[in-house]
Amino acid sequence: MTCSCIVSRQLRTIRCLSVALCLFALGWNPACYGQAKSIPGTPHDGQHDFDFNLGKWKTHIRRLLHPLTGSNDWADMDGTVTARKVWDGRAQLEEIEADGSAGHFEGLTLFLYNPQAHQWGQYFANSTEGVLERPSIGEFKDGRGEFFDQESFNGRTILVRFVWSDIAPESHQVEQAFSDDGGKSWEPNFVATLTRDQTSPDQAPDQAPSDRSSRSLGGARDFDFQFGEWKTHIRRLQKPLTGAHSWTDYDGTSSVSKVWGGRASLFELRADGPAGHIEGVGLRLFNPHSHQWSLNWASSADGVMTTPMIGKFNHGSGEFYDQEEFQGRIIMIRNGFSAITPTSSRFEQAFSDDAGRTWEPNWTMTFSR
């Protein structure tokens, strides 16, 4: 579990407010301000449960400084939260900036809906680490959202609970609590109240304050070339690592928007071809300590984030790697960006089942304005 430099380990908990992609893509009747009604006997279709959160908000945060110690020492922060739609609302990106006596905090949360499980995942990252955390998973019932995960805190394994409540058109509340007794009791340690910002217009990404701070970080602007809208042609090898040479083509559009002044970006892809429809989202995060990027990908088919690809750019080209299981075998995966110009670029994914000695490309994308 990573942490913000201003509030130590606990501020990875702000992921419920702030939301956060690798390019591997195989694969309302309103009630309670955003929760759709379910037909009796059918699973609740919760894909619009977070609609209430869209827009710009003022937030006041109270944070318990020393959880699970018996302490009652709280700190306060004030800031703004902005949430925007992804996948027509079936996903959502939320950004937060806040200040208090401990300093400045900046983070994001990517909310992803899993249409198979009828659950949401909350994936958090803070700008001081640039790493996407493990998700908390849950759903909304009767106008209240509860999300859980299990984490290590001060060397102990605990349960973490997020609760979204008091949801109204102009306000709502988020609370985090810890339990070190298997959920028998819960200690709240983070409470945020949000009220809709009616006075301050949304700030254009190119003018955001964090845009200036990113200029001094080597590598933090490497993905600037991809901001904007693109025509996208995809070729996919149908049966990787089998010796087959049959490819499938897709055509569509992609867009890349700036987050944290460019130190993160959101990639959205839609494409169609003979094999069907592809819709996915990628969150790219810059780690200011390692000067590396992580590429995190999710498909709308399952709303689950895949293993991040890690790497960087050298001499105008980017290479990113990870190790995954593929058809029962552990293989290496490489993503690459090349042929970068103001109006075009190329992406390639390749697999290796011999520890990187040879690579078989299986997925390419060409981008043009």
Give the strand pairing for 187-196 and 171-179. Answer: antiparallel
User: Model's pTM, two decimal places?
Assistant: 0.83
278 burial level (CB within 10 Å; 0-12, 13-18, 19+): buried
What pLDDT, on the 0 to 100 scale, is given for residue 9?
36
The per-residue pLDDT for range 178-210, each reduced to its tens digit, is 999 999 999 999 999 999 998 755 444 444 444
8 A C-beta contact, residue 278 and residue 250? yes
**Nearest Cα residue to 285 out of 21, 65, 69:** 21
The per-residue pLDDT for range 305-344, each reduced to its tens digit, is 999 999 999 999 999 999 999 999 999 999 999 999 999 9
The number of helix segments (H) and strand segments (E) in the chain equals 1, 22
What pLDDT, on the 0 to 100 scale, is given for residue 30?
31
Using pLDDT thresholds of 50, 70 and 90, give the confidence band for residue 101: confident
Give per-residue burial for 336-358: e unless 16+ CB within 10 Å, then b: bbeebeeeebebbbbbbbeeeee
218 phi, psi to nearest 5 deg: -60, 120
Q: Which of 63-67, 98-102, 127-131, 238-242 has the lowest mean pLDDT?
A: 98-102
- Provide the mean pLDDT of the chain: 87
186 burial level (CB within 10 Å; 0-12, 13-18, 19+): middle
What pLDDT, on the 0 to 100 scale, is given for residue 215?
52
What pLDDT, on the 0 to 100 scale, is given for residue 208?
43
DSSP output for 80-141? EEEEEEEGGGTEEEEEEEEEETTEEEEEEEEEEEETTTTEEEEEEEETTT--PPPPEEEEEE
The per-residue pLDDT for range 5-27, each reduced to its tens digit, is 333 334 443 333 333 333 333 33
Give per-residue burial for 72-110: e unless 16+ CB within 10 Å, then b: eeeeebebbbbbbebbebbbbbbbbbbebebebbbbbbb
Does the pLDDT value for residue 3 go beyond 80? Answer: no
What pLDDT, on the 0 to 100 scale, is given for residue 274?
94
What pLDDT, on the 0 to 100 scale, is given for residue 325?
94
* Average of per-residue pLDDT across 228-255: 97
Q: How many CA atoms lie within 13 A of 305 on its CB side?
A: 29
CB atoms within 10 A of CB 141: 14
What structural domains and CATH numbers belong to the chain?
9-20+28-196 (2.40.128.20), 220-368 (2.40.128.20)
The per-residue pLDDT for range 262-297, each reduced to its tens digit, is 999 999 999 999 999 999 999 999 999 999 999 999
The per-residue pLDDT for range 51-75, each reduced to its tens digit, is 999 999 999 999 999 999 999 999 9
* Average of per-residue pLDDT across 158-175: 97
Does the pLDDT value for residue 119 go beyond 80? Answer: yes
